[in-house]
Amino acid sequence: MLALLDLSAAFHSVDQRILLRRLEISNGLDGVVLQWFVSYLDHRTQFVRCRNSKSTPSMVDFGVPQGSVLDPFCFCYILRS
């Protein structure tokens, strides 16, 4: 029997605060490197557009930008820690 598991949605469940804290404490990242991660994840918004209508932007507190190469890395890092 073949079982397939789609983890793509799981990448969007990574809590950014937990990820940043673990990178800082567990890996000892600080300074410029940690600030790069913070600036990459912080203050991101999302909205829905349908033809000429657009929803109000809302803050994104979980996951990393869609299509990012950091998606699998961040999710696996959280699982491993």
pLDDT string in tens for the chain (81-residue length): 445 555 556 666 777 888 788 888 877 888 898 898 888 888 888 889 999 999 999 888 887 766 666 666 666 666 565
CB 41 within 8 A of CB 20: yes
CA dihedral 29, 9, 80, 16 (to 10 degrees): 30
Domain assignments of the chain as residue spans, ordered by start: 10-80
Place of tokens 């990178």: 23
pTM: 0.56
